[in-house]
């Protein structure tokens, strides 16, 4: 039931996936297996997470054909530069046990290091060679994207950014729409906690007979964001993906929009790394 989004190079990506950030190696294979059993076909990992081998193991053990699972990984912050980025993806493919990934992302721009344009040229090469079906970025701001547009020939297929009702990033999402860049949301439910306790979300959860997390995830889906919540609990993994048999009314989408407080929970991309 999960819809797909067509990226700017024609590759299709499931709009809803499973994130493995901060899942310990001892739990990763089981959690990914639960996700695949629940119908997830999009797995989002990163070199930084240290669990690419577990992703590969879970995929191999699943018996699901490779072309039915969309796999994303991301470049580690210490691997910027043309040659190092090329080697880094080869290392990821070895860990994953795959001959290609579906999407490869620059994890953080690291603008003070000022190598992300050089790194992007390596990504373009990796896409030409078929080692990555699509290439994109993560945590890039509008000036970073504008520089890639000015100095290279490939528009990122996606930009994966912190995005939740407290921090909806309207300006950046508008730039994405204008330039055919798909928006992916990390920390989609704002790391739980205070956001899910918001009275607005509690009221909407009661109205629709859903959990506050499901209300937020459905809000993302209706905005057109690609989203991949993380959990290690099988019941929660199933619950998270169960958002395709109801729809928020426009006024309720606006009510979630109104929770915008400009609160960033993660690092500032202009400084991080």
pLDDT in tens, 57-116: 999 999 999 999 999 999 999 999 999 999 999 999 999 999 999 999 999 999 999 999
Q: Domain 4-191+225-231 is of which CATH architecture?
A: Alpha-Beta Barrel (3.20)
Mean pLDDT (whole number) for 137-164: 98
- Could you give the 3-state DSSP secondary structure of residue 25? helix
Cβ–Cβ under 8 Å, residues 177 and 236: no
- pLDDT band, very low/low/confident/very high, at 273 (cuts 50, 70, 90): confident
Q: Does residue 47 register a pLDDT over 90?
A: yes
pLDDT in tens, 237-246: 999 999 999 9
Q: How far, CA to CA in Å, does 247 sit from each of 67, 221, 251?
A: 30, 9, 11
What average pLDDT does the structure give for the chain?
Answer: 96
Structure tokens at 89: 């993806």
pLDDT for residue 208: 98
Output the pTM of the full model: 0.97
CB neighbour class for 153 (10 Å; exposed up to 12, middle 13-18, buried from 19): exposed
Structure tokens at 176: 């994405």
- pLDDT band, very low/low/confident/very high, at 22 (cuts 50, 70, 90): confident
Extended beta strands in 154-220, E state:
158-162, 182-186
Name, in order, each residue with C-beta under 8 angstroms of 69's C-beta and a sequence gap of 6 or more. 36, 41, 42, 43, 59, 62
- 273 or 69: which carries more pLDDT confidence? 69
49 is catalytic: yes
pLDDT in tens, 177-190: 999 999 999 999 99
- The ranges assigned to domains in the chain are 4-191+225-231
Q: Does residue 193 register a pLDDT over 80?
A: no
Mean pLDDT (whole number) for 135-159: 98
pLDDT for residue 25: 78
* Active-site annotation holder among 40, 49, 116, 175: 49
């Amino acid at each position: 039931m999960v819809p797909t989004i067509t990226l700017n190079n024609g590759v299709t990506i499931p709009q809803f996936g499973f994130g493995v950030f901060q899942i310990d190696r001892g739990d990763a294979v089981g959690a990914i297996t639960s996700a695949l059993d629940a119908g997830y076909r999009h797995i989002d990992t990163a070199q930084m997470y240290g669990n690419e081998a577990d992703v590969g193991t879970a995929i191999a053990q699943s018996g699901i054909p490779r072309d039915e699972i969309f796999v994303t990984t991301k470049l580690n912050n210490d691997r910027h530069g043309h040659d190092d980025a090329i080697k880094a993806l080869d290392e990821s493919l070895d860990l994953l046990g795959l001959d290609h990934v579906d999407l490869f992302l620059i994890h953080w721009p690291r603008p003070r290091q000022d190598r992300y344009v050089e790194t992007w040229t390596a990504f373009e090469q990796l896409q030409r060679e078929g080692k990555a079906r699509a290439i994109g970025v993560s945590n890039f701001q509008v000036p970073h994207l504008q520089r890639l547009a000015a100095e290279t020939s490939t528009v990122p297929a996606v930009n994966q950014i912190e995005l939740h009702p407290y921090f909806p990033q309207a300006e950046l999402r508008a730039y994405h729409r204008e330039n055919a860049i798909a928006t992916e949301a990390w920390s989609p439910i704002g790391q739980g906690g205070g956001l899910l306790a918001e009275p607005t979300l509690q009221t909407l959860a009661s109205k629709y007979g859903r959990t506050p997390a499901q209300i937020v995830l459905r809000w993302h889906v209706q905005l057109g964001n690609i989203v991949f919540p993380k959990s290690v609990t099988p019941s929660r993994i199933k619950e998270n993906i169960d958002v395709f048999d109801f729809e928020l009314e426009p006024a309720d989408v606006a009510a979630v929009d109104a929770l915008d407080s400009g609160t960033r929970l993660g690092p500032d991309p202009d400084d991080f790394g």
